[in-house]
């Protein structure tokens, strides 16, 4: 069986700007794939190319083996949940949801039951006759979800559907979408710049940057085995310590430092990364394989941890410490980390 | 002497006086005409000695006057239809498409609105004076008056619709396409209902402009096709009976009625979207 969706060497430029640069991937039937990246990374354009709202300059898009890249959006078997919801304000909830069914020529007798079922799925039974202006933000997004799912498209496209909602609602709807995916088994392409959303929902995540896919993999691998420096820095928080090898390995201020490396670094500039949760401070640092001295500049209370900001030869690092450590601003402290937790890029 | 009012009191009084004056200024001519239409005498003249509906009966039993009213309404209706349809389509094209000389086209579309009616009326009369189409004399026909009125009405609907389309959320069109609606169905199901406020406002403008227009109609109509304002003008020259005042009241009532209808519709429409 052919994959639900295939992109083959897809490219799109706007004027002189390359928005999508030779992107290829394929998505299996029922898979939940997230396009994750900063703004301007090409994730939204990639999705608009799939939906048919932009024409690619080159490359192919196939849905279930059929080429669709020259078809207008209304001939493609995709349905989008838009960021704003994009509900029709002059139509009721029921009319909004039934719109796609009518446009796709579903027989009138079938529309009623499917509409009812869709309303149940998003738990909006009894809201049929409301207008979008009478709904809350979360209800609107549920209607948008129902409107897209009810036509049972080959691909459901999510265009940052939760970014306009506040945090608690975002978490709740995130869970609902995930649950519906498990229940209904639709194929989803989800665009977001929120990495926790991407990690929580996806079967696979494609990290995009400057129009290219930097890495496409399971969320665990994206986090634990980033393919390159961009993915490492983009996903999660990290501290960066610039190093130079100039005869010897040197810290930013030129002091030689000693790291326990599997193999020596070549000459030149390097960047060493450690996650703040994996950095140790004070007495805990003394047992680590790698250590460096710094001076505390300030600390913050973040709820679950205290974050100590440490100046190391002019470079700011930060360490997350469970509970308060016996240091204050101005104190000289030892930082340490295990070799397994550090990553060095040249 | 102590000034008995504070300054803010003074301003409040001035404000009230000014508003009253403006209202009077607008209302008095209409009110006087309306009062005069109930005059029993044969001349438009104060004082009014006896009141009656005599001239209303006279107006509505005169085939000449009712025909003129019918002509006016018919021409206004066609003007509304033509200018709303074409003004909307043109505005849609202007907001969605990019083409060369757009600014020049915009200027051309809007230009007739600023032309004196007498210039347009004369121009059309000269240009179409002897033109026959399918054996029908264009000049003197209602169709030509409709065309003339559209010269004013269409730029207005165009202007209103252009402003309306600019506020229209294009993402709704994308959402409709995305769900399988083709361009035509999307236009009628989504775009048009969303801009209906503009359409109705534009239609109202067209209807009222056509109903009120006098100079071009004077140039372009014959005895059979003359509109109510034209007939009023001509009859004022021969005999100034209160029948004229009745005609004025009828004309004003037609405009007022269309305004009320539009406002009722608008109130209902807005309730739905809020």
Domain regions of chain B by residue span: 63-273
Please give the Cα distance from B15 to B8 (Å, whole number).
10
pLDDT band at A26 (very low <50, low <70, confident <90, very high): very high
Averaged over A303-326, what is the pLDDT?
A: 84
Interface pTM, i.e. ipTM: 0.82
Average pLDDT, chain A: 89
Give the range among A125-134, A214-223, A278-287, B243-252 with minimum mean pLDDT. A278-287
CATH topology of domain B63-273: MetI-like fold (1.10.3720)
Tell me whether residues A99 and B181 touch, CB distance under 8 A: yes
DSSP A80: E
pLDDT band at A341 (very low <50, low <70, confident <90, very high): confident
Q: Which of A74, A86, A133 sits opposite B180 (nearest CB)?
A: A74
Residue A325 reports pLDDT greater than 90: no
Strand ordering across the sheet containing A268-274: A248-250, A239-246, A268-274, A343-345
Mutation to test the A interface, candidates B180, B189, B190, B199, most A Cβ within 10 Å = B180
Per-residue pLDDT at A159: 93
pLDDT band at B3 (very low <50, low <70, confident <90, very high): low
Q: Is B136 on the interface with A (CB under 8 A)?
A: no
pLDDT band at B149 (very low <50, low <70, confident <90, very high): very high
| Cβ neighbour number for residue A198 with a 10 Å cutoff | 24
Q: pLDDT by residue (tens digit) across B44-83?
A: 777 777 788 888 988 898 888 999 999 999 999 999 999 9
pLDDT band at A244 (very low <50, low <70, confident <90, very high): confident
> Nearest-5° angle of CA B122, CA B127, CA B129?
85
pTM: 0.78
Per-residue pLDDT at B185: 93
Averaged over B249-269, what is the pLDDT?
A: 90
Please tell me the total number of residues recorded for chain A in this structure: 346
pLDDT band at B84 (very low <50, low <70, confident <90, very high): very high
DSSP A123: T
| Cβ neighbour number for residue B126 with a 10 Å cutoff | 11
Averaged over A4-16, what is the pLDDT?
A: 92
Q: What are phi and psi of A300, to 5 degrees?
A: -125, 150
Q: Is B176 on the interface with A (CB under 8 A)?
A: yes
Tell me whether residues B171 and A86 touch, CB distance under 8 A: yes
Q: Residue A129: closest CA among chain B residues belongs to which residue?
A: B272
Residue A152 reports pLDDT greater than 70: yes
Q: Would you give the end-to-end CA distance of chain B in angstroms?
A: 56
Residue B1 reports pLDDT greater than 60: no
A82 neighbourhood in chain B, CB within 8 Å? 171, 174-175
Residue A260 reports pLDDT greater than 80: no
Per-residue pLDDT at B273: 65
Per-residue pLDDT at B266: 87
Q: Is B24 on the interface with A (CB under 8 A)?
A: no
**Min distance A318 CA to chain B CA atoms (Å):** 43
Q: Which of A74, A84, A133 sits opposite B177 (nearest CB)?
A: A74
Give the range among A278-282, B171-175, B216-220, B263-267 with minimum mean pLDDT. A278-282
Tell me whether residues B179 and A151 touch, CB distance under 8 A: yes
Tell me whether residues B189 and A99 touch, CB distance under 8 A: yes
Residue among B27, B44, B29 nearest B244 (CA): B44
Per-residue pLDDT at A265: 75
């Amino acid at each position: 069986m052919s994959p639900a969706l295939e992109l083959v060497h897809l490219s799109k430029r706007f004027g002189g700007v390359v928005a999508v640069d030779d992107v290829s991937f394929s998505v299996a039937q029922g898979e939940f794939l997230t396009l994750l990246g900063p703004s301007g990374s090409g994730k939204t354009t990639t999705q608009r190319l799939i939906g048919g709202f932009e024409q690619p300059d080159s490359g192919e898009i196939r849905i279930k083996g059929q080429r669709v890249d020259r078809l207008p959006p209304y001939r493609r078997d995709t349905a989008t949940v838009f960021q704003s919801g994009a509900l029709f304000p002059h139509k009721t909830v029921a009319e909004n949801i039934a719109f796609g069914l009518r446009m796709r020529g579903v027989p009138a007798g079938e529309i009623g039951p499917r509409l009812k079922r869709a309303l149940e799925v998003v738990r909006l039974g009894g809201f049929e006759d409301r207008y979008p202006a009478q709904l809350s933000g979360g209800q609107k997004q549920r209607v948008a979800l129902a409107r897209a799912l009810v036509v049972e498209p080959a691909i459901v496209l999510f265009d940052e559907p939760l970014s306009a909602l506040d945090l608690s609602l975002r978490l709740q709807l995130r869970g609902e979408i995930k649950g519906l995916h498990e229940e209904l088994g639709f194929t989803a392409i989800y665009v977001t710049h929120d990495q926790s959303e991407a990690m929580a929902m996806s079967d696979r995540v494609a990290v995009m940057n400057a129009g290219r896919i930097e890495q496409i993999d399971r969320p665990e691998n994206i986090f634990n085995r980033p393919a390159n420096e961009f993915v490492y820095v983009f996903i999660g928080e990290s501290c960066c310590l610039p190093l130079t090898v100039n005869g010897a390995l040197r810290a930013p201020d030129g002091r030689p430092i000693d790291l326990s490396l599997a193999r020596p670094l070549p000459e030149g500039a390097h960047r060493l990364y450690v996650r703040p949760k994996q950095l140790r401070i004070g007495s805990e640092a003394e047992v680590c394989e790698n250590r460096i001295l710094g001076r505390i500049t300030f600390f913050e209370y973040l709820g679950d941890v205290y974050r100590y900001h440490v100046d190391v030869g002019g470079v700011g690092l930060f360490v997350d410490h469970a509970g308060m450590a016996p240091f204050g601003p101005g104190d000289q402290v030892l930082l340490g980390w295990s070799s397994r937790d550090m990553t060095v890029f040249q | 002497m102590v000034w008995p009012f504070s300054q803010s009191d003074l301003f409040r009084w001035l404000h009230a006086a000014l508003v009253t004056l403006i209202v009077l200024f607008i209302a008095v001519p209409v009110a006087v005409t309306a009062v005069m239409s109930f005059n029993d005498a044969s001349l438009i003249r104060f004082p009014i000695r006896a009141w009656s509906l005599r001239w209303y009966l006279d107006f509505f039993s005169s085939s000449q006057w009712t025909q003129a009213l019918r002509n006016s309404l018919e021409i206004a209706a066609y003007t509304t239809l033509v200018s709303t349809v074409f003004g909307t389509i043109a505005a849609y094209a202007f907001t969605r498409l990019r083409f060369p000389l757009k600014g020049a086209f915009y200027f051309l579309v809007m230009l007739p609105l600023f032309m004196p009616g007498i210039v347009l009326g004369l121009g059309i009369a000269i240009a179409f004076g002897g033109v026959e189409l399918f054996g029908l004399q264009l000049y003197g026909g209602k169709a030509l008056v409709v065309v003339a009125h559209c010269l004013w009405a269409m730029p207005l609907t165009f202007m209103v619709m252009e402003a309306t389309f600019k506020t229209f959320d294009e993402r709704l069109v994308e959402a409709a396409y995305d769900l399988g609606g083709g361009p035509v169905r999307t236009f009628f199901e989504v775009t048009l209902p969303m801009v209906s406020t503009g359409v109705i406002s534009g239609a109202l403008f067209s209807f009222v402009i056509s109903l009120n227009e006098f100079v071009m109609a004077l140039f372009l109509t014959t005895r059979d096709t003359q509109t109510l304002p034209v007939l009023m003008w001509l009859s004022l020259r021969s005999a100034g009976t209160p029948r004229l005042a009745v005609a004025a009241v009828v004309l004003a009532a037609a405009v007022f009625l269309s305004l009320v209808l539009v406002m009722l519709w608008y109130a209902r429409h807005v309730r739905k979207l809020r």
